[in-house]
A and B are shown apart, each in its own frame.
Chain A
Amino acid sequence: MAPVTAAAAGRKILRTLALGVLTAALYAGLFLIEDLVVRLSALGGWYGLVPVAIAFVFSLSHGAFTGYFWDLLGVRARK
């Protein structure tokens, strides 16, 4: 059992790191092209879907990352 547990823990750390890096990259990207995003958002109409799409993408990556983050810190739901 021990090797399986160790492997699972390793996979979890890797997954957390990968999601953390992806989330950080998304935020960095958002602020790097801040002017463009703000200009497009302000146009409204079909361009209004830009912030909606960004919110969806961020929630998937960041949401998964925060879940793994608390899990790694030992803050888990009671079984």
Chain B
Amino acid sequence: MDAAANFIPLDLFDIAYLLIVGFIGGLVSGFIGSGGAFVLTPAMMSLGVPGIVAVASNMCHKFPKALVGAIKRARYGQVDVKLGLVLGVSAEAGVLYGAHLQESIQRAFGAAGSNLYVSLAFVLVLAVVGGYVMWDAVSAYRSGTSRAQEKVSRLARRIQAVDIPYTMLYFRSLDARVSVLFTIPIGFATGMLAATIAVGGFIGVPGMHYLLGAPSLMASATELVIAFVMGLGGTIKYSWSGLVDIRLAMIILAGSLFGIQLGAIGTTYVKPYMIKVVMGTIMVVVLVSRALVIPVYLSELELIGPLAGGTAKVLKGVSFGIMMFALVTGAMIILQALRKGMRTEREAQAVAAPAVAVMPLPGGAAQVLPQLSPLGRFERFLVASDGSEYSAGAVREALRLAKRCGARLRAVTFVAADQEHETLGEQILKHELDAARVHLEQVAAQATAAGVDCEIEVVQGFSVHDRIVDESERMRADLIVVGRRGRRGLARMMVGDATLKLIGGAHCSVLVVPRAAEVRGRRFVLASDGSRFGDAAAAAAGNLAKRCETPVTVVSVAVPSHPETRRREAPGVVERIVRALRSDGVDADGEVAQGLAADMIVAAAARTGADLIIMGSHGRTGFERLVLGSNTERVLNRTQCAVLVVKAA
């Protein structure tokens, strides 16, 4: 007989049918790591495809699907490749042994015996594992811990504690060393089940989670690596015998690749227990499906009496229908979870968005409007910290000031990221994001200890100062608190100074805190040249001084190079501001200095023992700053105490 006769002609209905089943199967596989394949073999057989070709073609669609799914989920940092490959090797042995066992049973008991063995395997595994997974998911939900991090099971901890020399391997997903003697039986059982019911993941995922201690999200993602290894090995085995119908495999793959991407995306929106809910639900429904056909096979083997006419056909039809129902139910749960997760995410972003309207510009682009910040308001602080020693002072003083002012604090850490970074350096990016989150959680813990209301967020983008300014606008911050890295000379000329760029771009005040500076409220030095920028600084200084009950020294500098008329204005400027501050209940005095403005301001701070210099910003940036220079920049470069730069807005 011509081997190609195994391959049936396909019409449009067949193609559409396989595409849809492939999509649903892919969706479930992308989400729980496997589980989509078990209906594909019967689905193909229902079109007239011989059983062995259906199994071979199913296998051939499985390995590229698993490869794409594994790559996708690896981008989310969910895949432990090493664990997947180690389990994959023993799973391959399990597949070969499982197939051999199937053939032996078929030879000894015929097709009915083989089918009974498959159905019993389904029922036994699904009852034990599926029941436990479902019970675990429901327990987590009922106990209210469904939103919490998963805990490593007691059994997994015991297995991790067993040290067998020369067999120990470290696995990232477990963050522990485990003996390969424990991974071999899990992989082998996974492979055997895959050869028997086409879904090895029903043992592989729970095995990695409950026995080895991998988080369920990582277990389901790592299962895709095992499925790839098993699928590739199985495909080569079958294609060597000329049994793979590549047309069937590629049509199913066309649908399943859309599904598997969607399922993988879905995992990023759900809590870990949802993986168990979907897996448990499918397993329990499939269990019912397979239990229904057991009497048919028992009857065929004459272990029970013959069934009434047509009963066997009805039972097989209902069984297949229930199996499809299981898959569709799983797909619906995933799509619903994805829809809900995306909506919640959008709502969260809308809440974080600025209350002011975003007006479209004539060119079609939109930008965030500057806030209408009353001068000297200290209600919302944004502290930007990179976790380095340079940011330590900023975090410390932001907490201190927030407590004194009763302000809300938002701590952010910037991680450079764009499309190229995400594609080329997933692991590096993930490492940076993890480190940023750990640092921010430490800041949040400090805030809680200090009694300050604090939110944390990792922000990503191209440039640090732009993103921090954006964040300050989004939360309508009154104050941005940053550290000072103090880049000087050639380095500053080449790459610029992020702090100065931030001050130039910010619409609210910026507090720059060198690493050792402390704002204890001993005395503030307020620098003013009598301009509206100086008045803005005076308003902010008065407000802050009242809150901190701190005396203020007003300094105005008569710069020798300035015209005589301007130099004569300095005493008047000081007198006007001191009077205004005193009338507001602030302990204030003043002095007029002669010399270079920045030097005199820094000297006044040192002489009076001030711990904060407050000054207005003329907001010069770019070429203007290069030519005219910036007093703010000079003061920042010369002083060791904190500097509050007030923007006139």
A contact residues vs B (CB 8 Å cutoff): 1-2, 4, 8, 12, 27, 30-31, 34, 37-39, 41-45, 47-52, 54-56, 58-59, 62-63, 66-67, 69-70, 75-79
Inter-subunit contact A27/B265 (CB<8 Å): no
Question: Taking A34-B247, A51-B239, A62-B254 as contacts, is the C-beta distance between A4 and B462 under 8 angstroms?
Answer: yes
Inter-subunit contact A38/B247 (CB<8 Å): yes
Quick one: which of B49-86 are within 8 Å of A by CB?
A: 60-61, 63-65, 67-68, 71-72, 75-76
Which residues of B are found within 8 Å of A58, using beta-carbon distances?
64, 250, 253
Of B60, B240, B265, B466, which contacts A77 at CB under 8 A? B265
Question: Taking A55-B253, A75-B342, A77-B76 as contacts, is the C-beta distance between A66 and B235 under 8 angstroms?
Answer: no
Which residues of A are found within 8 Å of B3, using beta-carbon distances?
42-44
**How many angstroms between the C-alpha atoms of A4 and B2 in the bound complex?**
59
B454 vs chain A, min Cβ distance (A): 21
Of B6, B236, B268, which contacts A42 at CB under 8 A? B6
Q: Residue of A at shortest CB range from B26?
A: A66
Q: Residue of B at shortest CB range from A70?
A: B261
Inter-subunit contact A63/B236 (CB<8 Å): no
**How many angstroms between the C-alpha atoms of A19 and B261 in the bound complex?**
16
Inter-subunit contact B64/A39 (CB<8 Å): no
Which residues of B are found within 8 Å of A41, using beta-carbon distances?
7, 239, 242, 244-246
Interface 1/0 per residue, B483-513 and A, CB below 8 Å:
0000000000000000000000000000000
Question: Taking A4-B462, A70-B262 as contacts, is the C-beta distance between A63 and B64 under 8 angstroms?
Answer: yes
Q: List, sorted by A's number, 18 A–B pairs whose CB atoms are closer than 8 Å.
A: A1-B466, A8-B418, A38-B247, A41-B245, A42-B2, A44-B239, A44-B240, A48-B239, A51-B60, A51-B239, A55-B61, A55-B235, A58-B250, A58-B253, A63-B64, A66-B68, A66-B261, A78-B269
**How many angstroms between the C-alpha atoms of A34 and B245 in the bound complex?**
10
Which residues of A are found within 8 Å of B60, using beta-carbon distances?
51-52, 55
Q: Is B182 an interface residue (CB 8 A)?
A: no
Q: Is B345 an interface residue (CB 8 A)?
A: yes
Q: Is B571 an interface residue (CB 8 A)?
A: no
Q: Is B249 an interface residue (CB 8 A)?
A: yes
**How many angstroms between the C-alpha atoms of A31 and B247 in the bound complex?**
8
B469 vs chain A, min Cβ distance (A): 11
Which residues of B are found within 8 Å of A44, using beta-carbon distances?
3, 239-243
Q: Residue of B at shortest CB range from A44?
A: B242
Q: Residue of B at shortest CB range from A2?
A: B365
**How many angstroms between the C-alpha atoms of A38 and B250 in the bound complex?**
13
Pick the most buried of A31, A37, A44, A77: most chain B CB atoms within 10 A of its CB: A77
Which 5 residue pairs are nearest across A and B when measured between Cβ atoms?
Answer: A44-B242, A59-B64, A48-B239, A63-B68, A42-B3
Q: Residue of B at shortest CB range from A68?
A: B261
Interface SS of chain B: helix
Inter-subunit contact A70/B64 (CB<8 Å): no
Which residues of A are found within 8 Å of B72, using beta-carbon distances?
63, 67
**How many angstroms between the C-alpha atoms of A1 and B466 in the bound complex?**
9
Inter-subunit contact A42/B341 (CB<8 Å): no
Inter-subunit contact A38/B245 (CB<8 Å): yes
Quick one: which of B262-313 are within 8 Å of A by CB?
A: 262, 264-265, 268-269
Inter-subunit contact B247/A30 (CB<8 Å): yes
Which residues of B are found within 8 Å of A31, using beta-carbon distances?
247
B contact residues vs A (CB 8 Å cutoff): 2-4, 6-7, 60-61, 63-65, 67-68, 71-72, 75-76, 232, 235-236, 238-247, 249-250, 253-254, 257-258, 261-262, 264-265, 268-269, 338, 341-342, 345, 365, 367, 418-419, 460, 462, 466
Inter-subunit contact A8/B262 (CB<8 Å): no
Which residues of A are found within 8 Å of B345, using beta-carbon distances?
78
Q: Residue of A at shortest CB range from B243?
A: A44
Inter-subunit contact A55/B249 (CB<8 Å): yes
Of B71, B246, B268, which contacts A78 at CB under 8 A? B268
**How many angstroms between the C-alpha atoms of A66 and B253 in the bound complex?**
11
Q: Residue of A at shortest CB range from B253?
A: A58
Inter-subunit contact B65/A1 (CB<8 Å): no
**How many angstroms between the C-alpha atoms of A55 and B2 in the bound complex?**
24
Which residues of A are found within 8 Å of B232, using beta-carbon distances?
52
Which residues of A are found within 8 Å of B235, using beta-carbon distances?
51-52, 55
Inter-subunit contact B245/A48 (CB<8 Å): no
Inter-subunit contact A75/B262 (CB<8 Å): yes
Additional pairs, 6, CB under 8 Å, beyond known A44-B243, A45-B240, A52-B236? A37-B247, A44-B239, A47-B242, A48-B241, A63-B257, A75-B265
Which residues of B are found within 8 Å of A51, using beta-carbon distances?
60, 235, 239, 244, 246, 249
Which residues of A are found within 8 Å of B264, using beta-carbon distances?
77
**How many angstroms between the C-alpha atoms of A54 and B246 in the bound complex?**
8
Of B64, B254, B367, which contacts A56 at CB under 8 A? B64
Inter-subunit contact B240/A38 (CB<8 Å): no
Inter-subunit contact B65/A59 (CB<8 Å): yes
Pick the most buried of B67, B76, B250, B262: most chain A CB atoms within 10 A of its CB: B250
**How many angstroms between the C-alpha atoms of A42 and B8 in the bound complex?**
12
Which residues of B are found within 8 Å of A59, using beta-carbon distances?
64-65, 67-68, 253, 257
Which residues of A are found within 8 Å of B341, using beta-carbon distances?
78
Which residues of B are found within 8 Å of A12, using beta-carbon distances?
419
Which residues of A are found within 8 Å of B250, using beta-carbon distances?
27, 30, 54-55, 58
Inter-subunit contact A48/B261 (CB<8 Å): no
**How many angstroms between the C-alpha atoms of A30 and B261 in the bound complex?**
23
Q: Residue of B at shortest CB range from A39?
A: B4
Inter-subunit contact B253/A52 (CB<8 Å): no
Inter-subunit contact B257/A42 (CB<8 Å): no
Inter-subunit contact B245/A66 (CB<8 Å): no
**How many angstroms between the C-alpha atoms of A27 and B246 in the bound complex?**
11
Pick the most buried of A30, A34, A47, A79: most chain B CB atoms within 10 A of its CB: A79
Q: Residue of A at shortest CB range from B269?
A: A78
A46 vs chain B, min Cβ distance (A): 8
